[in-house]
Amino acid sequence: MKTFSIALCALLVTSGLSAQEIQKLEKDLDSLKQLKIAYQNKIEEIQSEYLRIEAEINRIKFDSNIGDIYYAVCGTNLIRTPEKYEIITYLPRNSKVKMMEQTNTHYKIDFNNSIGWVDKSAIIPEAIYLEKISIKKAIAVADSIKKAQSLIQQETQKKEYKANLVKKYGVEIANKILSSKIWIGMTDEMAIESLGRPQENNRTVGSWGVHEQWVYRNLYVYFENGILTSWQD
């Protein structure tokens, strides 16, 4: 890191930056390094939580009751018999029940010592239920990791972009560009960095040089030979 800093200082000195600007740039790079470490630690925490959940699911799967334990996939009513719709109690979604017997269309179950019947579509075996939970957890963990990695990438790109602007134009102009500002005397290259490319570029070439009108949604910017001379908003 020390060797890198010395090399960076030598490079930036040749570009005309002051010692204070160089120090600020080095501080930004150190901040980026710390941010990267923080996000990497967060990813490791997420992965650790994923492994813990996976181990817990595996433990439950090997429970001695698996095979006759089912879970409700939706809220439904526990009824007296398949032929007579007499409600005993309500069976909430994700409730754990014990399957006792079955017909072609219904399961007889024990739910907290209330015994009755439910439609077969309302509950699934524990193994299938746990597999679905495992998949959901895995997807959630993968999404969290992806978001963390995306944040790292975005922050890295922002820091690198700012460092490049400072190296190219100096701190003051770089901060103006990052704030999407324009000013008399800026170059067309700076304007592109600050505003992006225009929707239209009306260009006139004559003996006096090149006159350009850049058209944005609510802004007209005028250049003479690549230097901004005025604008309308």
CATH number at residue 92: 2.30.30.40
Domain tally, the chain: 3
Where does a domain end: 82, 114, 130? 130
- Residue 69 confidence (pLDDT) above 80: yes
Confidence of residue 210 (pLDDT cuts 50, 70, 90): very high
Strand arrangement, sheet containing 209-215:
200-206, 209-215, 220-224, 227-232
Do residues 48 and 136 share a domain?
A: yes
Residues 26 and 109 in one domain: no
Does residue 21 surpass a pLDDT of 80?
Answer: no
The mean pLDDT value of the chain amounts to: 85
Query: Which tokens belong to 184?
Result: 């008399």
Q: Is 195 inside a domain boundary? A: yes
Residues 93 and 126 in one domain: yes
Q: Which residues constitute the domain of residue 111? A: 69-130
**What is the per-residue pLDDT for 6?**
52
CB 95 within 8 A of CB 145: no
pLDDT band at 179 (very low <50, low <70, confident <90, very high): very high
Q: What pTM was estimated for this model as a whole? A: 0.47
Let me know if residue 175 belongs to a domain: no
Distances (CA, A) of 192 to 65, 66, 196, 199, 224: 67, 65, 4, 12, 15
| 105 and 208 share one domain | no
Residue 26 located in a structural domain: yes
For residues 22 and 43, state if they share a domain. Answer: yes
In this structure, are 77 and 109 located in the same domain?
Answer: yes
* 115 plus 224 within the same structural domain: no
Residue 183: how many CA atoms within 13 Å on its side-chain side?
Answer: 12
- Domain assignment of residue 123, yes or no: yes
**226 assigned to some structural domain:** yes
Could you tell me if residue 87 is inside a domain? yes
The C-alpha atoms of residue 54 and residue 38 are separated, in whole angstroms, by 25
pLDDT class for 141, splitting at 50, 70, 90? Answer: confident
Residue 211 and residue 119 share a domain: no
Check pLDDT > 80 for residue 9: no
**Whether residue 88 sits in one domain with residue 56:** no
Cα–Cα distance for residue pair 95/21, rounded to 1 Å: 63
Task: Tell me: do 53 and 141 sit in the same domain.
Answer: yes
Q: What value does the mean pLDDT take over residues 137-147?
A: 86
Within-domain flag for 206:
yes
Contact 115, 108 (CB under 8 A): yes
More confident residue, 168 or 30: 168
Asked whether the predicted pLDDT for residue 158 surpasses 80, the reply is: yes
Task: Determine the 3-state secondary structure of 123 from DSSP.
Answer: strand
Do 209 and 117 belong together in one domain? Answer: no
Domain identity same for 208 and 112: no
For the cut 70, the answer to whether the pLDDT of residue 157 exceeds it is yes
| Domain annotation covers residue 204 | yes
